[in-house]
Amino acid sequence: MMKDCLQFLIKPAKKLKIRLKESHKRVRLEKKELLVENQLFIMELARELNKICQRSNILSHIWTSEDIWPASVCCDFIMEWAAVLDKRMQYEKPGKKDWKGHLVCMPEARGEYDMGPHKRVIMDWTWAIKSRPQPPVWPGEPVLMMLDDLEFQWKRGCLPNLLPAMELVMLAMLNADSPVKVWMSLCLCFFSTVWNWICDAAEDVTLDSYSANPDLLISSDEKRMRCGLERRDLPQCQRRFDGWWCAVGKKGFTSGRHYWEVEVGKQDWRLGVTKASAVRQGFRSLNTDTGHLTLRLERGTDLKALTVPSTPLPQSLVPKKVGVYLDYEQGQLSFYDAEKRSHLYTYNQKFSEELYPVFGTTEVVKELVIRPVAVRQPCLCPGLFCKS
């Protein structure tokens, strides 16, 4: 009897429950549809940027759906860059409509997934770039080198997505009219993801005293060396340098990734790797023809890669601490300013024999110091570029 009396309440409750489920499902589908639209927007943006910046094809992985970003990453990217671009456009054109207040109020008024105004700011910016009579000035090889590193990491699975590459291209285009400013900013900082990935390959390198030129003084911990005032009387052997003031590391490499850092002097040094078969006796040029891949500083200002012929580098790049990165399988030997976290030079060769770290100096007072692994601090900055 009681059940019959409550029947008029049970049926409406069931219908209400069904309607609530359908409503929740509809909301989820609407949100999913909007998030897919965000991904499609980013894909189209990557396509447009790829047309503008034709010297790198890294963004093609995004617009061909090879690289799919999570929903939250898509939303954050669109909102953050819309704010950056809006601020830039307000600075360049003060009379332009103030989108900033509109961008702030829209999420509150129409829900957190209303991305239309944010997308419109980004679209206006890309249209403005494409409508210029001349294409933007590409800021230089350091950008391309960073993009190559990012693409390589992504293909190896070391990067979850190509968000840093997209941000680097947008930053380069945003500052295309100020190439000096961009150049300095890119040289003074290196992507935290790239730098941390390089530091993960840190190697504990020590000097092989039996390979050192008799004029060199090697410390007891085999981490420091400098030129002495008198030549030591040491037995001659094939592994010892008897002409150039050099020494190699104890351990050679035939595979894998390896990274080490060196504090160098102000006047004269050389760093890099030497092949196991390379001749170490006499004063033959230590260049790529003789099996040595090195970076050399002479007279405090003459920085160069010892290719054939040699490749001079700008005096402004002369570092105090040098990072040496070797990827044997990829045939890559790169040099970095370890303080500024910026790229100096890269050799690309196919390696087929054992490679030894090589160190050289003619300085009597200032020691050349191999830095311990423990003192190499990874970049912990959360932002787009490292500011430390």
Per-residue pLDDT tens digits for 97-108: 443 444 333 333
Confidence of residue 302 (pLDDT cuts 50, 70, 90): very high
Mean pLDDT for 177-200 is 57
Q: Which residue in 358, 335, 349, 310 sits closest to 207, CA to CA?
A: 358
Mean pLDDT for 7-20 is 58
Q: Is the pLDDT of residue 148 over 90?
A: no
Token digits of residue 282: 């006499």
Whose tokens are 């456009």? That residue is: 89
Mean pLDDT for 137-147 is 64
Beta-bridge mates of residue 305: 295, 311
How far apart CA 356 and CA 276 sit, in angstroms, is 7
- Higher model confidence: residue 94 or residue 166? 166
How far apart CA 157 and CA 200 sit, in angstroms, is 14
Topology classification of domain 209-373:
Jelly Rolls (2.60.120)
pTM over 0.85: no
- Higher model confidence: residue 388 or residue 94? 94
- The ranges of the chain annotated as CATH 2.60.120.920 are 209-373
pLDDT at position 130, please? Answer: 77
The rounded mean pLDDT for the chain is: 78
